[in-house]
Structure 1
């Protein structure tokens, strides 16, 4: 379990399936992820979901995002396509509960998982792809230290590739780039011994 300032990131569990199914069927949320909504039945989804929990993929790490205040499951995040040779992984996040949008929950979840990745793994580079028109997501990722490093087109959608390197964590710890956001991030870091 990882605790941020607004969120708790915890292991996925079978009780998350109903929310995840609803979010994956939501056309607006699917559009934000440049995918089609899930069309399988809930029963089929549950079988798939339970199988994923029983047989985790070692090339990814998934978390449920709960609100720290009320414990509500509000979304999910993960890092995946873990490449141990290149020491990199891709990051994904989705806040499914709309009443939590624009209130810093996504930013806190990203910051919390990024700090975990750089503190607890040998990953040196985290990257993500965000739709070119999704300015809100880009703003969140920039607040967390990500910078644009390229563009890709997949299935007719234009994405901005953003990245963050391990040196970012060192700069936060050393106060080298103390901005209001980095001060908040530094407050989240465990004390050094």
Structure 2
């Protein structure tokens, strides 16, 4: 059974170098900058061009939801915004959820923040919310993210051939998942 109250109240999750805190309108400025960062846009395959009002409305609507968890990834030392990590698409019957993460840009890539955020959110998903399976999709041109997911225990399950059109080329989407009883290094 999915603990929807844990999703609604969404506790802060603290790691060694980061804190995951409820994503809300206080994150607008850095989130807005990240949505205009070319490498972040490419790695997330985001074709949509958002307006400031859309992002303000979206961020303000995140707290209190019982069907997803939207977390801001904050640097522990100064609570600087590093990105977001999300559990969504919960299926209560099958105790599953989808995962996604987006860091703000190349200045925070390769520093372990994504790995730590992924491990924290998986612990929350399995040990608090009560899911059995967490799945994700990652583009073929992002091997760095694929390595992070594998390091966190995700297993490659499939390939969606030519599922993303980006910069005049088709790209494959790799599907991965982790189960509650899989090793979580």
Q: Which category of TM-score, normalised to the shorter sequence, fits these structures?
A: 0.7 to 0.9
Higher helix share: 1
Equivalent residue runs for 1:116-135 within 5 Å: 116-135=124-143
* 19-28 or 62-71: bigger deviation: 19-28
**Cα gap change, 1:149/1:72 in structure 2, threshold over 3 Å: closer, same or farther?**
same
Tell me which of the two structures has the higher relative contact order, counting C-alpha pairs closer than 8 angstroms and 6 or more residues apart. Answer: 2
Aligned residues of 2:39 and 2:106 also touching (Cα < 8 A): no
Root mean square deviation, CA, Å: 1.8
- Paired position in structure 2 for 1:14: 25
Aligned residues of 1:27 and 1:36 also touching (Cα < 8 A): no
Aligned residues of 2:86 and 2:100 also touching (Cα < 8 A): yes
2:101 matched to 1:93? Answer: yes
Q: What's the TM-score once normalised by structure 2's chain length?
A: 0.83
- Paired position in structure 1 for 2:180: 166
Unaligned runs of 5+ residues in structure 1 are 173-181, 183-193
Aligned residues of 1:11 and 1:62 also touching (Cα < 8 A): yes
Q: What's the TM-score once normalised by structure 1's chain length?
A: 0.80
- Paired position in structure 1 for 2:9: none
Unaligned runs of 5+ residues in structure 2 are 1-11, 166-170
What secondary structure, in the 3-state scheme, does the structure 1 residue paired with 2:107 have?
Answer: helix
Largest Rg, 1 or 2 = 1
